Amino acid sequence: MRSVRALATPLPILACMSLAALAGCIQLVEAKGADGQRGSTKLSSEEPADTRPLKPAAKELDLAQTALDASDWDGAIAHATKAREILDSYEGRGYGSSEERHLHNQIRAEATLIGGLAHRGKSDPLGAFLFVDGKGFSARDCGEARKKACAEHEELVYKSDAFRGLTLNYSGRQHESLHPFFEVSLGNTTLSTTDFDMMKNFWYPKSDYLAIWVTSADGNRLKSAVQGQRASYTIAGSAHSISGTDCSKKVGEVEIGRARYDVKECHKDTSNYVGATLTFTMPAQDGKAIDLTKSEALVIFRRKDLKQQGVTYNLGDVRLVRTRDRK
């Protein structure tokens, strides 16, 4: 398997499917529909052809490829993003044929590929991973001209050790795109060393990156500061106990009518937790946009940057993905 550094290097210029070829395919589908004797994809007068997204999306895909070939990484990302937006705006309205649906999927997959390659051209393989959105990415949807590049990109996204942890939650279930390790935020209750022990116990052992939600709810102390180009955060928990009733011990059975029921013994149970402190930094521009006392932030950090000193856990410099209102 190629190294992450090698994967971050853009591939040679692809033998790409041009706009003309894509448009020709679309024209073929429409020609069949226009002739009632040759197909069932005839467009009604109420649905003019220019409302369909395939041609404009294919044009954006060609522009993205042109920008990629010229090492215009930001331009390639912008056009690839636009191609997907055009296709997604048509979602739910359906197509007149399976060929059109197949072409829709192909353009979308190849736009994801080109956007990813552009991020890799910027030496940002993590950005390439994050360019795969909630619809996922499959090399099966790509055309023959880009099939090999798509297969290699799919390998990077879903099978490389570097990003494996970004699609797996703590139970080991794999998702089609970025998924937080925990469904809830670290810091939504008083931070304890148990939170971090769970992380280390269930984290895919070879993975480099991990995504978690962080916040600072009641029971924690938050300190934040912006110095120069970096924003720093410290979320400090404290020692605490949680008491409850445990009724898991079976002591017998009882028969009532024709049914049998377990008899269980209940007793009070108290769990003691050691307080923990979480620290991390991020670019100042991102830090100014969030308030962890009111919101939750999804951040990505690297295993090699995670440092523990006593009960203090430092994530190093994190990448902000998005925020949400605290649940």
**CATH no. for residue 211?**
2.40.50
Check residue 91 and give its pLDDT. 80
Is residue 131 domain-shared with residue 73, that is, in the same domain? yes
Is residue 225 domain-shared with residue 113, that is, in the same domain? no
Check residue 44 and give its pLDDT. 40
Q: Which ranges in 122-238 belong to alpha helices (H)?
A: 125-130, 147-159, 193-202
Is residue 229 domain-shared with residue 265, that is, in the same domain? no
Cβ atoms 121, 72 nearer than 8 A = no
Q: Indicate whether 92 belongs to any domain.
A: yes
Check residue 51 and give its pLDDT. 60
Is residue 289 domain-shared with residue 309, that is, in the same domain? yes
Q: Indicate whether 169 belongs to any domain.
A: no
Q: Report the predicted TM-score, pTM, of the whole model to 2 decimal places.
A: 0.76
- pLDDT tens-place string over residues 155-211: 999 999 899 899 988 888 889 999 999 889 999 999 999 999 988 888 888 889 999
How are beta strands 307-309 and 312-317 bridged, if at all? antiparallel
Check residue 78 and give its pLDDT. 98
Is residue 214 domain-shared with residue 250, that is, in the same domain? no
- Beta strands per DSSP E along 136-258: 209-214, 221-227, 230-236, 240-256
Check residue 37 and give its pLDDT. 34
Is residue 54 domain-shared with residue 202, that is, in the same domain? no
Is residue 124 domain-shared with residue 195, that is, in the same domain? no
Cβ atoms 52, 107 nearer than 8 A = no
Q: Indicate whether 167 belongs to any domain.
A: no
Q: What angle in degrees, to the nearest 10, is found between the helix axes of 54-69 and 73-89?
A: 170
Alpha-carbon torsion (163, 168, 173, 174), positive or negative: negative
Residues of the chain with pLDDT under 70: 1-51
- Structural domain count, the chain: 3
Cβ atoms 81, 107 nearer than 8 A = no
Residue 259, domain extent: 240-273
